[in-house]
Chain A
Amino acid sequence: MPRRVVDRLVLPLAGSLTTYLVLVGGGTVYAAIGNSASDGLVTQMLINAVVVLGMQIYIGNTGVLSFGHIGFGAIAGYAFAICAISPERKAAQIPNAPFGLAEVDLTPLQSSLVAALIAVVVAFVIGLGLARSGARSGAVAATVITLALLFVVHEVARNWIDLTRGGKAGLSFSPLSGVTLQGRGWIYLALLLALVAARLFKETRYGRLAQAAREDDLAARSMGVHPALQQMIALLLSVFVVSIGATLRVFELGSINPRLFFFKYTLLTLTMLIVGGRNSVVGALVGVVIITTGSELTRYLAGPSVDLPLLGWVLRSGLTDVFLGASMLGFMIFRPNGVLGDWEPDHWIARRSDRKSTEKQPELPPVDDSRPDGFLRVTDVVVDFGGFRALDGVSLTASSNEVVGLIGPNGAGKTTLLNTITSLVTPSAGSIRLDQDVLDGLPSHLIARAGIVRTFQNLRLFPALSVQENIEVARLAAAGHTGGRWQPDVELLVRASGLTELRHRRASELDYGNARRLELARAAAAAPRYLLLDEPTSGMGDLESEQMIHRIREVAGLVQAGVLVVDHDLNFITGICDRVYVLDQGKVIAVGTPDEVSQNLVVQAAYLGGPIGPSR
C-alpha cells in the first residue's frame, strides 16, 4: 500500500476505531456496574461527544471561535421535534403550526436527516456572512456573528409560540416527560460516523488548508490559499454533525425547550472541546470524558450525601458550573491547547514506524538552470503611507532566469516593494506585470496563484504544523490551483533545505536558521515562478548565510523559479545575485551587477553616509 494512503487513511481510521472502542467499551462497563442513573449518564455523554466532535470540525480546523453551533443545534432540535412528534400530540401542543407542519408525520430517522439538512442550509447562509466578514482564527467579528445567531434563534424559539409553543412549556413527545424513547444503537452509530468524519476531515485537502489558514492567515494567502472555501466546507460538515447530535439529545430527553440549547449547553460543550484540546479529534473526546466525570463528581460532592466539615463553603449547589467556568479559564491560562494539543493516536504509530524505516534516499538531481523565459515587471510604482512617500516611482524587471537582488538602507522601501508586488500594500500609482498579465488590484492569494510566492522578514510559518506538513500544505495549495499538474517533490525539498532530520518537528520548535530554510522550502513548494525572499539570512551567522546562497540556488533550480531577494548582507547579495537594484528613500538609485553597484559612489554614499561624489 502506498505510504500516503497508510498515513492519511489507514492509520487515522485505525486510531479512531481504537478510540471508539475504548470509549464505548468504557461506557458500557460503567453502565453495567452502575445503576439506571449511570446508564443515562453514559447515554448523555455519548450524545455530547457527537456534538463536541461536530464543533471540533469547525473550531479545531479553522480556529474561529463559534458560539453559534449550539444555535444550529437548537434549529435542528426544533425541526426534529416538529417533524417527529405525532400529529395527534402536535394537535394538542401546536395546533396552529404554520406551513401545515401540524400534519407532518415522519419517522425519527427521517426527521433527524431533515432537521440536519435545514440546519446545514442555515449554516450555508451564515457561512457566506462569515466569509464576507473575513473570518479567521480569533476573529472577533466572526464570534459576534455566531453569538448573534445563538441569541436570535433563542429569541425566536421563545416568541414564535405557534411553531415552538414558546419558552415555558416547550414541545414534548409524550405526555410523560423524562421517558427515554430509544435504545443506544443509533447513538453508537452516530458517534462512530462523527468520529471518523472528524478525524478524516483533518487529513483532507480542505482540512489541511483550513489548518494552515488557522495557523497564519496571511502566510496561507501568500501561498495561494483563500480560506473561505475550506471554512465553509468545515462549517457545513460540522453543523451537520452537531445537528445529528442535537436531534439525538432531543429524542433522548423526549422534549425540547429554548433553554436546552442556549448558553449553558454552549458553555458545557465548549469547555469539553477546549479542555481536551480543540485541535485534536481524540482530544475532543478526552475533554468530554474529563468534563463529564468532573461534573458528576462535583455534583456528588455538592450533594446532600457528602458532608465535610471544613469544606462546607465549597461543597454547595452550583459547584458544577463553577467547575466548568474554572476549567475553561484554567486551561486557557495554563494549557491553552488542552490536554492533548493536536495529538492523535495514529501520530504515535506513524512516528514509530518512521524511525524504523531508514531506507536509502534518492540522490538530488543535478540543478537545472534552464527555465521558461519570462519576466516580472514593476513600472513606476508609487506608495504613500499617509503623508509619507515610501516608494517614489520605482521600476524593476526580473527575468525568470536570474537572481535579482534588492538592497538599500533601512527604510529605503525594500519590503514595501515586496508587499506591493504581493498585494499586501496598495500602490497609489504604477503597474505590476507578470509576462503579459497585469496583476494590479489582484488580492494576495491570486498573486500567489499567478506564481509569485514570498517569504517574510519576520518569519511566518505555520507553528503548530510539522516541518513536513508546512511544505505539504503549500504543495496541496499549488496542486489545487494548478489543476494538479504541478507536483513538486516534497521529499526533495525537505532534503534540499537540509531539514530531513527535523521533518516531524513542529515548526515552532525550529531555531532561526532552520525556520528560514523551512520558509524557503515552503515557498518553493507552492509552485512559484518567482520566489520573493525577504531577508532570508537575517539572524544567520556568516557560515550559515554562505550556505544559504547554495540552498537558494538549489531550491530555485528544483522548482525552476526566478528569485528576487531583499537583504542587508552585502557578501550574501554579491554571492548570489546576477543583478542588483539599489533603493534609497523610495527610489532606485543604481542598477547593475554586484561589482558595478559596489563601485558606485552614489551607493556608497547612501550606505555609508559619506559625501556624494562628483558622479552625481
Chain B
Amino acid sequence: MTELLQQVVDGFGRGGIYALIALGIAVIFGVMHLVNFAHGELITVSAYAAYGLFAAGWDWWLIAPAIVLIAGLTSVAIEFVAFRWVRGAPDFTMLMTSFGVHFLVQAAFVMYVSANFRQFPRPGWIFQTWRVGGVSLEVFDLLVILFTLLTLAATYWVLQRTMFGMSLRAAAEDFDAARLMGIRSDRIIRGAFALSGLLAGVAAVFWLMRSGQAGPSAGLSPMLKGVLAALIGGLGSLTGAVMGGVILGMAEVLLISRLPEGLVGLTDGIVFLLIALLFVFRPQGLVTVRRAERV
C-alpha cells in the first residue's frame, strides 16, 4: 500500500512536467494543426540560458522566472521565423518543418557552443525528503505538483475568462469560423505560441533543476515525452494532454519499479514501444476528440 502511494506521488512528480510540455503542444496543435517536434528546443534554449545565467552569478530564484520568460519569447521567435510560413500547409510539410527547426537549433548549438554537455549546479535542498507514514516525499516532487497545479489553474483561467483565451478556444474549435467572426488569426497563433512557450518554460525550470546540464540535445527527451503525452491525450484536447502527461509519468514510475534489473536502462525504449503499440490500436489516443472532417 505504502509502495503504491509512493509510486503515485513519484508518478505525479514526473507526470506534472510532462503535462505542462504536452499542454503546450496541444495548444499549438489546436490553432495550427501542427505537431510541434521542435517544442523541446525551448527547453534546450532554457538550459543554455540557465547555464549562462549561472556563469553570470545569478541564483535559481532569479533564474527560474527568467527561464520562463526566455522560453516564451523563443517560442514566439520560432513561430515568426519558421512556422508562420507553413500555416495551412499539408500535414507532411508542417511535420517536416518542425523537425527542420529541431535539427537546425541543435546544429546551431553544436556549432556555437559545443557538442558536449555543460554542467551547472542543481539546488541541493529540493532533493531533501520528508517521511510521512512510510512514504518519502521529495521536496522536488511536491514543488512540481504544486506548480503544475498553479500553472494549470492559471492556464485554465486564461482560457476560460480572458478574451484571448476564448478566441483561442474558438480558433481551436473551428479556425475558419473564428476568423470570420473577426478573430485575428495572427494574434491568436502568436498568442498560442507564447502561451505554449511559457508552459514549456515552467516545465524547463523543473527539468533543469533535476538534470543540471545543458547540451544541444537536452530538449530531445522532454520533447518526445511531451509529444507522446499529447498523443495519448488525443492531440486536440487540452485536458487530454494533461491527463496524458500524468498517465505517462505514472507508467514510467511503475515500469522502473517492476522491470528486472538488467532492463532498467531500456525504460525509455520500452515506454516508447508500449506507446507505439497504443497508437497501433488507438491512433486517436486514449481521450477521443470528436473531430469530424467536413465533406
Contacts and interface: CB of A to CB of B under 8 A. Distances in A.
Contact of A326 (B35, B104, B283, B292): B104
Given A149-B276, A152-B269, A325-B103, A140 B235 contact: yes
Given A148-B273, A148-B276, A318 B110 contact: yes
Interface string A288-321: 0000000000000000000000000000111101
A218 B276 contact: no
B280 interface: yes
B111 A317 contact: yes
Nearest to A322: B107
B104 A322 contact: yes
Interface stretch (A97-105, A182-190, A329-337, A554-562): A329-337
B111 A139 contact: no
B98 to A, nearest CB: 9
B227 A144 contact: yes
B100 A145 contact: no
Contacts of A319: 111
A267 B106 CA distance: 12
Interface string B239-268: 000000000000000000000000001101
B272 to A, nearest CB: 5
A281 to B, nearest CB: 18
Contact of A332 (B35, B96, B266): B96
A456 interface: yes
A71 to B, nearest CB: 12
Given A155-B268, A325-B107, A326-B104, A458 B295 contact: yes
A156 to B, nearest CB: 7
Contacts of B283: 132-134, 139, 141
B95 interface: yes
A145 B276 contact: yes
Contacts of B96: 65, 270, 274, 328, 332, 336
B295 A329 contact: no
B100 A321 contact: no
Contacts of A133: 279-281, 283
A489 to B, nearest CB: 29
Contact of B100 (A156, A325, A424): A325
B108 interface: yes
Contacts of B92: 63, 65, 137-138, 336
Contacts of A151: 268-269, 272
Contact of A322 (B85, B95, B108, B268): B108
Contacts of B112: 318
B183 interface: no
Contacts of A322: 104, 107-108, 111
A213 interface: no
A332 B95 CA distance: 9
B124 interface: no
B256 to A, nearest CB: 15
A152 B108 CA distance: 27
A252 to B, nearest CB: 25
- Interface centre among A65, A317, A385, by most B CB within 10 Å? A65
A321 B90 contact: no
A512 B224 CA distance: 43
Contacts of A38: none
A457 interface: yes
Given A159-B266, A326-B104, A332-B86, A145 B279 contact: yes
B279 A144 contact: yes
B82 A329 contact: yes
B164 interface: no
B17 to A, nearest CB: 20
Contacts of A324: 103, 107
B280 A145 contact: yes
Interface string A416-430: 000100001000000
A332 B97 contact: yes
Contacts of A318: 107, 110-112, 115
A333 B103 contact: no
B147 interface: no
A482 interface: no
A328 B107 contact: no
Nearest to A219: B295
Interface in B74-128: 82, 85-86, 89-97, 99-101, 103-108, 110-112, 115
B295 A152 contact: no
Interface string A81-115: 00000000000000000000000000000000000
Given A133-B280, A152-B272, A316-B111, A138 B100 contact: no
Contacts of A431: none
Contacts of B209: none
Given A138-B92, A140-B231, A329-B82, A321 B266 contact: no
B47 interface: no
A143 interface: yes
Nearest to A425: B292
Contacts of A270: 96, 99
B115 to A, nearest CB: 8
- Interface centre among B100, B227, B272, by most A CB within 10 Å? B100
A366 to B, nearest CB: 35
Contacts of A397: none
A587 B286 CA distance: 36
A129 interface: yes
A538 interface: no
Interface string A117-150: 0000000000001101110011111011101110
B108 A144 contact: no
B293 interface: yes
A332 B235 CA distance: 23
Contacts of B115: 318
Nearest to A323: B107
Given A149-B276, A332-B86, A138 B95 contact: yes
- Interface centre among B104, B275, B292, by most A CB within 10 Å? B104
Contacts of B276: 129, 144-145, 148-149
Nearest to B294: A458
B106 A141 contact: no
B228 interface: yes
A84 B119 CA distance: 43
Interface in A451-504: 456-458, 460
Given A129-B276, A133-B283, A152-B272, A141 B231 contact: yes
Contacts of A132: 280-281, 283
A28 interface: no
Given A457-B295, A458-B294, A329 B269 contact: no
A596 B278 CA distance: 56
A545 interface: no
A333 B269 contact: no
A604 interface: no
A218 B293 CA distance: 10
A329 B106 CA distance: 13
B232 to A, nearest CB: 11
Nearest to B107: A321
Nearest to B273: A152
A134 B89 CA distance: 21
Contacts of A267: 103
Contacts of A137: 90-92
- Interface centre among B97, B103, B275, B283, by most A CB within 10 Å? B103
13 contacts: A138-B92, A139-B91, A141-B231, A149-B276, A155-B266, A270-B99, A318-B112, A318-B115, A325-B103, A325-B105, A329-B104, A333-B86, A336-B86
Interface of B: 35, 82, 85-86, 89-97, 99-101, 103-108, 110-112, 115, 224, 227-228, 231, 235, 265-266, 268-269, 272-273, 275-277, 279-281, 283, 292-295
Given A148-B273, A330-B100, 7 more contacts: A129-B280, A138-B91, A324-B103, A324-B107, A332-B100, A333-B85, A336-B93
Q: Which 9 pairs across A and B sit closest by C-beta, in order of nearness?
A: A138-B91, A318-B111, A329-B100, A325-B104, A321-B107, A148-B276, A155-B269, A325-B103, A141-B283
